[in-house]
């Protein structure tokens, strides 16, 4: 079933430090739609990564709900089936988080297995993605032999293998040099347009943020739209 939107309703997130409650953000309301691009900005420690984790269902809100809307049906993020989430969402973290004991090809294919893709098809799709991303000659290598930019390309291939409805990325260019970061940004936007995915990126990179249709800023615990662009 197609994931059409992700909806946050009156979401609060609280952490406890030495048994003292610390409110990270409060009363967050937002709707993210398939086919649109979103940039989440804010100073370090404002909660960008936490918000992305909530959207992905990797963390749960203290209050409020995160819902995945599949056409006319809604599921709460915490009840959403693991396999369906693996298929509907692709996630790229700040650091590639590859499995160093597996080859590049295996790192990409493993998400396909989790999404219910057969082994043969997962490896076939992994090979196609790695070829498109310029890593065909690296598919049998191990992550430790790759540069930072190459590892992020592998992470992008892994996120894309299930052809997700939404691609989420947490500071995907922060650990890269300017040229490599620009190349990775171009790849995100290329695949977003090609596959018609929703793209949600948290980052400080003003160049990357400027290319998003919608900019959301976390400031003092609240989320506001600071800019809205027309479709490119």
Please report, in tens digits, the pLDDT of each residue of the chain (232 residues total): 688 999 999 999 998 888 788 888 899 999 999 999 999 998 888 889 999 999 998 888 999 999 888 766 666 666 565 666 778 899 998 888 999 999 999 999 999 998 889 999 999 999 999 999 999 999 999 999 999 999 999 999 999 999 999 999 998 888 788 888 888 888 899 999 999 999 999 988 888 888 899 999 998 888 887 666 554 4
Task: Quote the pLDDT of residue 9.
Answer: 93
pLDDT computed for residue 184 by the predictor? 85
What confidence score (pLDDT) does residue 19 get? Answer: 78
pLDDT tens digits along 73-90: 666 666 565 666 778 899
Q: Which among 86, 81, 136, 142 is positioned nearest to 113, based on CA atoms?
A: 86
Q: What is the separation of C-alpha 28 from the centre of its chain, rounded to a whole number of angstroms?
A: 19
Q: What is the pLDDT of residue 229?
A: 55
Q: Print the domain residue range for 175.
A: 5-228
Spell out where 55-178 has E strands: 63-70, 73-76, 89-92, 166-170
pLDDT score of 126: 97
**Cβ pair 6, 69 in contact under 8 A:** yes
Rg of the Cα trace of the chain?
17
CATH no. for residue 45? Answer: 3.40.50.300
pTM above 0.85, yes or no: yes
Residues 173, 16: Cα–Cα separation, whole Å: 30
Count up the domains in the chain and report the number: 1
Distance of CA 108 to the CA centre of its chain: 15
pLDDT for position 77: 67
pLDDT the model gives residue 44: 86
65: CB partners within 8 A, 6+ apart: 7, 8, 9, 10, 11, 76, 77
Q: How far apart are the first and last CA of the chain?
A: 27
pLDDT of residue 232: 47
Structure confidence at residue 81 (pLDDT): 56
């Amino acid at each position: 079933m197609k994931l059409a939107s992700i909806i946050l309703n009156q979401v609060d997130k609280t952490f406890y430090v030495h048994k003292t409650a610390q409110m990270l953000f409060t009363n967050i309301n937002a709707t993210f739609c398939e086919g649109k691009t979103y940039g989440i900005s804010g100073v370090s420690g404002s909660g960008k990564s936490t918000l992305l984790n909530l959207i992905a269902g990797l963390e749960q809100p203290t209050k409020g709900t995160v819902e995945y809307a599949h056409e006319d049906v809604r599921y709460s993020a915490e009840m959403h089936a693991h396999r369906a989430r693996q298929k509907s969402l692709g996630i790229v973290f700040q650091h590639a988080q590859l499995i160093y004991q597996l080859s590049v090809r295996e790192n990409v294919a493993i998400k396909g297995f989790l999404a219910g893709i057969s082994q043969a098809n997962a490896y076939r799709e992994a090979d196609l993605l790695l070829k498109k991303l310029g890593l065909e000659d690296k598919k049998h290598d191990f992550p430790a032999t790759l540069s930072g930019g190459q590892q992020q390309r592998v992470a992008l291939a892994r996120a894309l293998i299930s052809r997700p409805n939404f691609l989420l990325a947490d500071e995907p260019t922060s650990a890269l040099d300017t040229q490599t970061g620009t190349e990775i940004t171009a790849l995100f936007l290329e695949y977003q347009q090609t596959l018609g995915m929703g793209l949600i990126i948290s980052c400080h990179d003003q160049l990357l943020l400027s290319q998003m249709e919608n900019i959301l800023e976390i400031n003092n615990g609240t989320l506001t739209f600071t800019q809205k662009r027309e479709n490119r």
